Structure 1
Amino acid sequence: NKALLKELIDKYGASKIVVSIDAKNGKVATHGWEQVSDIDSVDLCKELEQIGVKTIVYTDISKDGMLSGPNFDIYEELSKKTSLDIIASGGVTSIDDIKRLLDMNMYGAIIGKALYDNRIDLKEVLDLC
């Protein structure tokens, strides 16, 4: 609901609103990842930026929980085509992944399974910041 989103940004400020985009193969997924639409995720991010969104959480659901590394290509594309603050989600597996995301100027990263499986040391991550 883009009209509601614009209203919320106007009322609370863009710094208080973060939009989550879930995608698979570059297409937006909805309904708890059950349905993949025909909507291009990068195009949607550009549209959200025009509305006034400043920060997104972008989850590549094909990478989430797979411990196979993030989709660096999509984060690079988003960085080139938008000025959004991007929180990378899905597939973050190692400290090297986090370093690479930092080098790409990602705003943040969500670490799940790799943290629980002790593949990533939280103190080491915090030392990078």
Structure 2
Amino acid sequence: MILLPAIDLYGGKVVRLTRGDYEQMTVYRDDPVAQARAFEDAGARWLHTVDLEGARDGTTPNFGAVAAFCRDTGLQVEVGGGIRSLDTIGRYLDAGVARVILGTRAVTDLEFLRAALERYGRQVAVGVDLKDGAIAIHGWQETTGQSVQAFFQSLCELGVKTVICTDVSRDGMLGGTNVELYRALSDQFPLELIASGGVSGLEDLRQLKALGLYGAILGKALYTGALDLSAALEEVG
């Protein structure tokens, strides 16, 4: 199972939200590249990053920081947030990003997702954010009426390989990840599933690994010291 330490970007800084609430934002570091290097020094091979302004507004104000991650570290970078055109996907990949995560546009426009997959293949992943059992879009500010099961089935039929699934209710709470959700999804759908939201310690990671998940994203637990990245990588990474 790959472990992906997370850097959420807002205003060029490293931040974390609580349950996706932009009014509950904590700034952890002013220098995102220094944070990425710290993760690399701890043994990380991947970095998960989200442009929170982009996720909400459909823009890419933190593109420069993401490009710097690729240029100034040896990490494989996946990025999401505000990626709603083929040109934006291309810009990120040209900057060295390994995998682009489509969220809002993938949920609302399957034909766009199909076109992205045809052009970029496995370099395109889909982010499915679940809020109170519904699929959330636009930086978790809205939800849709789509069936979660039907949407996941559509992703499989389109040939999506990698899905990052976030339980928004757990995100930033350090209360444990939603193991039952990921068990149900991994049992039903043949996807490379990456769990996100609520990972609070090694026991969470042991449970996710036991499910055979492809990966897990580590956020607030790293920033608060609840989880040591080197120890996590040694045991389950």
What TM-score results when the alignment is normalised by the length of structure 1? 0.94
- Contact conserved, 1:19 with 1:53, CA < 8 A, in 2? yes
Q: What's 1:48 paired with?
A: 155
Mean alpha-carbon deviation: is it higher for 31-40 or for 71-80? 31-40
Match of 1:83 in 2: 190
User: What does residue 168 of structure 2 align with?
Assistant: 61
**Aligned partners of 1:37 and 1:11: how far apart in 2?**
27
- For the residues of structure 2 that align with 1:70 and 1:26, how far apart are their CA atoms? 15
**Equivalent residue, structure 1, for 2:205:** 98
Task: Give the Cα separation in 2 of the matches to 1:42 and 1:93.
Answer: 27
Q: Is the 8 A contact 1:19 1:55 kept in 2?
A: yes
1:115 alignment partner, one of 222, 225, 233: 222
Structure 1 SS opposite 2:195: strand
Secondary structure at the residue paired with 1:11?
helix
Q: Quick one: which of 90, 94, 114 aligns to 1:6?
A: 114
Number of residue pairs matched?
128
What's the % identity of the aligned pairs? Answer: 38
Matched letter for residue 69 of structure 1: G
Q: Is the 8 A contact 1:87 1:109 kept in 2?
A: yes
CA distance in 2, matches of 1:11, 1:113: 34
1:96 is paired with a residue whose SS is helix
Look up the SS of the partner of 2:145 in the other structure. strand
Q: Deviations over 1:20-52 (max 9, x none)?
A: 011123210112111122212232111111111
CA contact (8 A) 1:70 1:90 kept: yes
For 2:179 and 2:225, locate their aligned partners in 1 and report how far apart those are by CA, in whole Å.
22
Question: What's the offset of the Cα at 1:81?
Answer: 1.1
After TM superposition, where is structure 1 displaced by more than 4 Å over at least 4 residues in a row? none
Greater CA radius of gyration, 1 or 2?
2
| Unmatched tracts of structure 2, length 5 or more | 1-108
Which structure's residues are more often strand, by fraction? 2
Q: Distance in 2 between matches of 1:82 and 1:72?
A: 15
Counterpart of 1:53 in 2: which secondary structure? coil
Unpaired runs of 5+ in structure 1?
Answer: none
C-alpha distance in structure 1 between counterparts of 2:164 and 2:152, whole Å: 10
CA drift at 1:75: 0.5
1:107 and 1:92 map into 2 onto residues whose CA distance is: 15
SS in structure 2 opposite 1:42?
Answer: helix
